[in-house]
Structure 1
């Protein structure tokens, strides 16, 4: 079971494990969402681009960062839903880059219903050189501890 709203330490960052972004990730994502832009799927085209090679879809990296955070076992069984998302794409991620995320609980507040609250998590997504490639935050509806256990 994941953490309840009250269990999060505000402003204490945690680093996820790394994950290398490969050909399969980009190809599967392109097929899943239908985004076959040549910047992602055509190496010859990309050699002439400002990136000098293929780059991963920005939303693929965003989704992967959230997946890496979920491996921290913070929200399994206690997240009730995604309420919001704010994201910025700072640098390209090329095939073969390894990303990880520095995730920081920014705010945890009760909602009008006693069994739930709202959690904001900040993200810095970093490549293997510790350069920030994406930043953002997500807002989650989270379970609170049962009143008898508070």
Structure 2
């Protein structure tokens, strides 16, 4: 990773970036269950899920969200902070052995309502797809980004 200074003015609507793939493993699911305490049978019980319409264990939605956000984290930008996530939707299940990829596109830029000379909000639409190019998760990542200092 490298450190870059990217200010509010440097973000353009429509710019995007994509990740490489990452295969979700049983170890990912077991570790996430242990970290969160979510041992719901949809994630942990192969015998039970085999009797359900979905037919197999699924990854936690919060696991896929966490992995996807991590996959978009690249360069360190001291001028931006994550401000949160909006409109999180788990569209399709992710199974053990599925490979996910992430695309992140800048969709909105807005000056901060109280401090427009200091910072602004940048919104990034994050789309997660599986190996069949099916969308499995979408969310909007909100950033608080410093305005370039006056010279």
Residue 131 of structure 1: CA displacement?
0.7
Normalised by the length of structure 1, the TM-score is 0.88
- Corresponding residue for 1:121? 124
C-alpha distance in 1 between matches for 2:43 and 2:107 = 33
Gaps (5+ residues) in structure 2? none
1:44 matched to 2:71? The reply is no
Normalised by the length of structure 2, the TM-score is 0.88
**Which SS does the other structure have where 1:50 is aligned?**
coil
Residue 38 of structure 2, aligned match among 35, 52, 61: 35
* Distance change in 2, residues 1:143/1:39 (3 Å): same
**Which SS does the other structure have where 2:124 is aligned?**
strand
**Which SS does the other structure have where 1:103 is aligned?**
strand
Matches within 5 A, 1:53-132: 53-71=56-74, 73=75, 76-111=77-112, 112-113=114-115, 114-132=117-135
CA contact (8 A) 1:83 1:141 kept: no
| Number of equivalences | 146
Q: CA RMSD in A?
A: 1.6
1:17 matched to 2:20? The reply is yes
1:6 matched to 2:9? The reply is yes
Gaps (5+ residues) in structure 1? none
Residue 144 of structure 1: CA displacement?
2.5
